[in-house]
Structure formats: structure tokens, C-alpha cells
Amino acid sequence: MALLLPTISIIAGLVVLIWSADRFVDGALAVAKHLEISPLLIGMLVMGFGTSAPEMLVSAVSAWSGKPELAIGNAYGSNIANIALVLGMTAIISPISVKSTMLRKELPILSAVTLLAGYLLIDGNISRIDALILAVVFGLFVGWSIWESKRKKQNELENIDLSCIEEINKNHLSLSMGIFWIVFGLILLMVSSKALVNGATVIAYSFHISDLVIGLTIVAIGTSLPELAASIAAARKNEHEMALGNVIGSNMFNTLMVVAIAGLIKPMPYLSHEVISRDFPILLTLTFSLFVFGYGYKKNGTINRYEGIILVSVFIGYMVLLFNQAHYGVKVAN
């Protein structure tokens, strides 16, 4: 009975978090349309931010509340869930064909960004300098994306993003309503993030489970639900590259900006060694697996159903490992 309110807080926080992220994106796209800003450019950046907004807000609130491992667990756990669960489930439903030149360029960039994150993490802490480096790299990536989109206006992603924007913005919101949903959506994002973090923290302490494990599991899966819903919907419409691009963009945001925001708010010293010895190696392996599955070298790559099953199996095994270690740790402590 004591855990009823924290459980309600987590469930309500997740529901409102996902709903408000959608409203925020709707509003941003409506404002971009009325201001006649390039729909391709705004679609890429706003939608990428929109699906990562839950991770950003949860990690920021966690860092501000003095829970750095919940913040880092949410960021890296979401990346693991995005690749292993989201892309795995999507590939099982419909094999993902990788055709776009831009995505083939972004895959090695994601791998390089992940290696950079690991290098900064190897000393067991995320300082403000580390966070600033990640933020600068994120800015460079955004700048490159803008330059690339202007240089190759006929890229295959242009048609995909335009159709996606039309689908999301089908209600043709007015400029005033667009601004309203940006402001109101952001307020709801902050409130629901706080509710989710508070609920998860209470439950973690009740079962003597670390903030890191809660961040890697319940919070990470919950904040990855927008990516899961978007990718499955894209796969059902045979928009395979949209599904893959959604995950690549989200992981870029999580690895760079989500960790950067949390680190700039409050440095994260003395992180658990499990982050470096267990969680990051799994993330790195999955990222390079995505590169191998999706790149295809001299031909179009494909993430097929068998590879999707492998990815989902890895995710299930990872969840079992986390909870077994958490249970073992509790027994040892007792």
C-alpha cells in the first residue's frame, strides 16, 4: 500500500510525459510552418528533440535532484532500449532496409560519438568540462545536419520527413495554438518528469535497488516509448528509414545533449563502476552491431527479422542480468 502512490506517480508521469512530448512537437511544427521555415530542417531537429524530450527532462530533473546515476542510467539505458528493443521489435514486424546516403553517413558518426562518450566516462565521472565537450559536439552535429540538408535537397529523407510532418501536423494548428502547445507541452514535460523521477526513486529505495538500475530499466524503457511507437508506426507504413533515422537521431541526442544537460546542471562524480564495466560496453556493442547490420558496405544494408530477434534477445538478457545483480546485491547487503 505504501508503494501505491509512487507507482501511480510513475504510470501517470509516463503517460503525461509521452502525451506532452507529442503536443510539444505538434506545436513546434505548426510554428515552423507558419514562419515558413524549411519543413525538412525543422522536422529533423524538432522531431529528434521531441522523441528525446522525455529523456532530457528526466535526466535534467534527476541531476538537479542530486541523483546523477538515475540521469546517466536513463540516457544510456534509453540508447540500449532504442537499439535492442525498438529496432529489434521494428525489424521483427518489418525488416528495415537502409537506402539513404544520409543515414549511411550518420551510422559511423553515431559510432564515433559513442566512443567519445566512453572516453569521457572512463575516469568514472562526468564533469562540467566533459558535459561542455558533449554539448559542443552536439552543436557541430546539428550544424553538419543543416549544411548537409541544404547541400543535398533531393536526399531521400526529404520526402520521408515531409510526409511525416504532414501526418503529425494534419490538424493545421494556428500560430497561436502552436505557441500555446509549445509552452503548455514544455510545462507538462517538466511536471511529469518530476513525478516520474520521484516515483522511481521511492520504489528504488524501498527495494534497495540503485538509482542506476532504475534508470536503466523502468525509466529508460518508459522514456523510450515515443521511439517505440514512432518506429513501429513507420515500419507498418513501410517507411523503414524513418524508423532507423528516429533511433539514430534519438541516440545522438541522448549520448550528447541529454548527458550534457545533466552534467552542466550538476557534475556527476563517482559513478558506479558498473556503468563502465557493464552498461557502456553493452551500449557500444549494440551501436557497432547497428552499424554492421545497417551499413551494408557496397550494397544496401538490411536489419532482418533474425537480427531483430537477436537484438530483442540481447535486451531481455540485459534486463535479466540487471535485476539478478540487483537482487544479488540486496541479498549480500542483508
- What pLDDT, on a 0 to 100 scale, did the predictor assign at position 204? 74
* Alpha-carbon distances, residue 133 vs 51, 56, 119, 146, 259 (angstroms): 23, 17, 12, 20, 11
* Most confident by average pLDDT, 16-30, 95-109, 148-162, 311-325: 311-325
- d(CA 125, CA 235) in angstroms, rounded, equals 38
pLDDT-based confidence at 59, cuts 50/70/90? Answer: confident
Q: Which residues contact 297 (CB under 8 A, 6 or more apart)?
A: none
Q: Which whole number is the average pLDDT over 62-89?
A: 89
The alpha-carbon radius of gyration of the chain (Å, integer) is: 19
Query: pLDDT averaged over the chain?
Result: 78
Backbone angles phi, psi at 100, to 5 degrees: -70, 135
Q: Is the pLDDT of residue 295 over 80?
A: no
How would you classify residue 302: left for phi > 0, otherwise alpha for psi between -120 and 50, otherwise beta?
beta
pLDDT digits (tens, 9 = 90+) for 201-249: 787 778 777 888 888 887 888 777 777 776 776 677 676 666 777 788 8
Q: Which residues contact 137 (CB under 8 A, 6 or more apart)?
A: 113, 116, 256
Q: Is the pLDDT of residue 257 over 70?
A: yes
pLDDT-based confidence at 37, cuts 50/70/90? Answer: low
pLDDT-based confidence at 81, cuts 50/70/90? Answer: very high
Q: Is the pLDDT of residue 188 over 60?
A: yes
- What pLDDT, on a 0 to 100 scale, did the predictor assign at position 149? 63
Please answer whether residues 66 and 271 qualify as being in contact, where contact means their C-beta atoms are separated by less than 8 angstroms: no
Rounded (10°) CA dihedral 62, 66, 69, 75:
30
Please answer whether residues 29 and 169 qualify as being in contact, where contact means their C-beta atoms are separated by less than 8 angstroms: yes
| 156-174: b (≥16 Cβ within 10 Å) or e | ebbebbeebbeebbeeebe
Q: Which has the minimum average pLDDT: 13-17, 110-114, 145-149, 286-290?
A: 145-149
Share above pLDDT 70 across residues of the chain, in percent, rounded to a whole number: 76
pLDDT-based confidence at 129, cuts 50/70/90? Answer: very high
Q: Which residues contact 48 (CB under 8 A, 6 or more apart)?
A: 249, 250, 252, 253
- What pLDDT, on a 0 to 100 scale, did the predictor assign at position 83? 92
pLDDT-based confidence at 164, cuts 50/70/90? Answer: very low
Could you give all domains of the chain from N- to C-terminal order, each with its CATH number?
40-169+210-333 (1.20.1420.30)
- What pLDDT, on a 0 to 100 scale, did the predictor assign at position 283? 94
- What pLDDT, on a 0 to 100 scale, did the predictor assign at position 52? 73
